[in-house]
Homo-oligomer: A and B are copies of this chain.
Amino acid sequence: MNSIQATIITIGDELLIGQVIDTNSAYIAQALNKIGVSVKTRIAVGDNKNDIIKAINNASINSNIVILTGGLGPTADDITKPLLNEYFGGEMVIHQPTLDHITNIFVNRHKRPMIERNRKQAEVPSVCEVLFNETGTAPGMLFRKDDVLYFSLPGVPHEMRFLTDNHVIPTITKTFVSNPIIHRTLLTAGIGESFLAEMISEFENNLPTHIKLAYLPNFGMVRLRLTATGTDENTLKTSIEQEFVKLKNAVAEFLVTDKDENMEVVVGSLLKEKNQTVATAESCTGGFIGHLLSKHAGSSQFYTGGIISYDNRIKTEFLDVPTQILQTVGAVSQEAVEQMAKAVREKMNTDYAVSVSGIMGPSGQTDEKPLGMVWIGVANREKVVSKVFYLRFDRLRNIEVTANQAINLLRLLIINKI
């Protein structure tokens, strides 16, 4: 059959006034994509009945699947449930398993009596199939009309994720047989987007028409993604694999990983493989490198800990950076980061260490040291290596790019490339 199309509708004024960032759509799109459903459009509308109905009407013209998130909470600005009840022509009824579940959450977990508002969350339109929400108080709902599936999910991210994984995706795979879409992604570091494009222009020009190349720059690195679409999954797999090998060879010098994973995951895997450990000494990133190294499950196998030496006093007292260095070349210097990396590695007795010191902005620059100047140091048991970067983003972005570049420098040390 033809390719299965989906529309994602996110509901909430907070999305239109920019108060929250929509991470739900990305999660749902990824999950749909994996099973070969392509998302044609993502649309965000406010807590407004007419706008929501218009979006549903439009979506139902072009889509086999419509997924709504948001507006299912217990408060008066949450209008999705009564609206869908009216739209699909049902009446509100209590869903007993959900009521039992909510009662249980309040009585046993919160140790608080349940109020009418909570009880109302167990009401659902009589014409829907309830998607039982183990992770929260708002049930998901599924409506079927004219061969289109309409899913309504809560906007709370972890509840939306649970319902997507456990109800939405299984229901779709049971209902539709869709055309395969296959992606292969790799990550490069150390080369800009336009130079990379030049380097692989011949490869790109010779790509078969059913395979598309995309450039995804982020954190000073560029991800390359091949996407193959067609009808026969095996043929697609063979052809995308051939092209992916060519692409990997073309960018070999700058290749970080041939999987769709982040820099810190690559470094974590390298360390776990070798059964080695790393410590951090952070000034300008204030703990963000530690966060990246420890945010994924299993990181306690390789991440020992770190010193956040935000104040110069901490650099001296905890990392033995001589005050003389701070007074002459300053905290943002090769001398300072090399000492920081060396000291934290020795004191925490790890195989590797990484250190940073820089000027993240919006102020703090001097005549010699511009905004965005950052020194990064990495150490192993034999040596200390450092490198200076000049970044030109805003404060938060500078922090993120610095952390990623630092972890990349650590990677280069681990694989003996520096």
Residue of B nearest to A350 (CB): B311
State whether A17 and B41 are in contact (beta carbons under 8 Å apart), knowing that A286-B303, A291-B288, A397-B158 are contacts in the complex: no
Do B287 and A308 touch across chains, with their CB atoms under 8 A apart? yes
- A390–B108 CA distance with the chains assembled, in angstroms: 13
Q: List 12 A-B contacts (CB under 8 A).
A: A14-B214, A17-B39, A19-B185, A21-B22, A22-B25, A40-B45, A76-B204, A77-B212, A137-B194, A285-B291, A286-B293, A304-B310
Residue of B nearest to A112 (CB): B195
Residues of B within 8 A of A290 (CB): 282, 286-288, 290, 308, 310
State whether A158 and B287 are in contact (beta carbons under 8 Å apart), knowing that A214-B77, A308-B308 are contacts in the complex: no
A134 to chain B, nearest CB (A): 10
Of A170-178, A215-223, A245-253, A408-416, the one touching chain B: A215-223
Copies of this chain, how many?
2
Do B14 and A18 touch across chains, with their CB atoms under 8 A apart? no
Whether A43 is near chain B, meaning CB under 8 Å from some CB there, is: yes
State whether A314 and B348 are in contact (beta carbons under 8 Å apart), knowing that A75-B197, A290-B308 are contacts in the complex: yes
Whether A179 is near chain B, meaning CB under 8 Å from some CB there, is: no
Do B118 and A194 touch across chains, with their CB atoms under 8 A apart? yes
Within A205-235, the residues touching B (CB, 8 Å) are 212-218, 223, 225, 227
Do A41 and B44 touch across chains, with their CB atoms under 8 A apart? yes
Q: 0/1 per residue, A174-207, Cβ < 8 Å to B? A: 0000000001010000001111011000001000
A302 to chain B, nearest CB (A): 10
Of A26-34, A88-96, A380-388, the one touching chain B: A26-34
Do B18 and A25 touch across chains, with their CB atoms under 8 A apart? yes
Do A115 and B294 touch across chains, with their CB atoms under 8 A apart? no
Residues of B within 8 A of A293 (CB): 286
Whether A47 is near chain B, meaning CB under 8 Å from some CB there, is: yes
- The interface of chain A, by Cβ under 8 A from chain B, is 13-23, 25-31, 33, 38-47, 51, 55, 73-77, 109-110, 112, 115, 117-118, 135, 137, 156-158, 161, 183, 185, 192-195, 197-198, 204, 212-218, 223, 225, 227, 260, 280, 282, 285-291, 293-297, 299-300, 303-311, 313-314, 318, 348, 361-363, 390, 392-397, 399
Do A297 and B363 touch across chains, with their CB atoms under 8 A apart? yes
- A183–B14 CA distance with the chains assembled, in angstroms: 11
- A80–B303 CA distance with the chains assembled, in angstroms: 43
Q: Which of B19, B158, B295 contacts A399 (CB 8 A)?
A: B295
A186 to chain B, nearest CB (A): 13
Do A77 and B361 touch across chains, with their CB atoms under 8 A apart? no
Residues of B within 8 A of A112 (CB): 195
A410 to chain B, nearest CB (A): 15
Q: Which of B22, B73, B289 contacts A22 (CB 8 A)?
A: B22
- A105–B215 CA distance with the chains assembled, in angstroms: 21
Do B304 and A314 touch across chains, with their CB atoms under 8 A apart? yes
Among A110, A214, A287, A310, find the residue whose CB has the most chain B CB atoms closer than 10 A.
Answer: A287
Do B42 and A17 touch across chains, with their CB atoms under 8 A apart? no
Do A117 and B361 touch across chains, with their CB atoms under 8 A apart? no
Q: Which of B38, B77, B348, B397 contacts A16 (CB 8 A)?
A: B38
Residues of B within 8 A of A43 (CB): 41-44
